[in-house]
Amino acid sequence: MSRFRLCWSPTSPFVRKVMILAHETGLAGDIELLAKNVWAPDTDIGATNPLGKVPALVLDDGTVVFDSPVILDVLDRQHGGPSLIPATGPERTRVLTLQALADGVLDALVLRLLEGRRPEAERSAAWVERQMRAVARGLDALEDAVFGFGPALDVGQITVLALLGYLDFRFPADDWRDGRAALAGWFETASKRPSFLATLPKDPV
């Protein structure tokens, strides 16, 4: 029996963070995936996660864990390999802030995507522009942050991987690589990892 159940979707970058960590740490086989369409009017996700969002992880004692940074923290304590979250000190702060930065850019991208799905008359160009400015500033900050990346993958880098993968998936016309050679170069290498390739997003047919 699986040790964990994960409220999952094939396209959520936040779910992808969890799955990248699971593949990196050998935990993927311990996680049963519960596919959820959080946008379906009759979704039951709220019965597990009161916030109505994926990912949510259910432990074998029934404890529900969200959101993705907490899930990554819980799973990181469940494997015997090197931790992907530094235990203490400035490195811990750096890695967790990196995760928060990439998560925040993802939040802005999701808001932008959802705004674009509203009926045309209800869309706000100013709101979309606000999100796009946050995305641009966040990516510029990541371009600088790359120079401080550690040699081993951590939860910050996992989140950056999920973010850049999401940009290529949902916004292929955005040229995020333009003017961000260091970030693009890092991604070129990191995106070849088996954990990234095993978790490529796919729209349901």
* Helix H or strand E encompassing 57: strand 56-59
The verdict on 38 binding ligand GSH (CB under 6 A) reads yes
Q: What angle do CA 142, 146, 147 make, to 5 degrees?
A: 130
CB-wise, 17 or 180, nearer to ligand GSH? 17
Residue 78, class by beta-carbon neighbours within 10 Å (0-12 exposed, 13-18 middle, 19+ buried)? Answer: middle
Query: Should residue 67 be labelled a site residue for ligand GSH when binding is judged by CB under 6 A?
Result: yes
Report 47-66 residues binding ligand GSH (CB under 6 A): 52-55, 66
Q: Which amino acid is at 32?
A: E
Q: Is the peptide bond before 55 cis (omega within 30 degrees of 0)?
A: yes
12 binds ligand GSH (CB under 6 A): yes
Nearer to ligand GSH, 54 or 190 (CB): 54
Q: Least distance in Å: CB of 52 to ligand GSH?
A: 5
Cα 84 versus chain centre, distance:
15
Q: Does residue 67 have a cis peptide bond before it, meaning omega lies within 30 degrees of 0?
A: yes
SS3 14: helix
CB 157, min distance to ligand GSH, A: 16
Q: Would you say 72 or 180 has its CB closer to ligand GSH?
A: 72
Nearest distance from residue 36's CB to ligand GSH, in Å?
Answer: 8
Which residues inside 98-127 make contact with ligand GSH, applying CB under 6 A? Answer: 103, 110
Of the pair 109, 190, the CB lying nearest ligand GSH is at: 109
Question: Which residue in the shown chain puts its C-beta closest to ligand GSH?
Answer: 67
- Residue number, 38 or 182, with CB nearest to ligand GSH: 38
Round to whole Å and give the CA distance between 180 and 167.
Answer: 14
Applying CB under 6 A, what is the total number of residues that bind ligand GSH?
12
Decide if 76 contacts 25 (C-beta within 8 A). Answer: yes
* 61: CB partners within 8 A, 6+ apart: none
Chain residues binding ligand GSH by CB under 6 A are 12, 14, 38, 52-55, 66-68, 103, 110
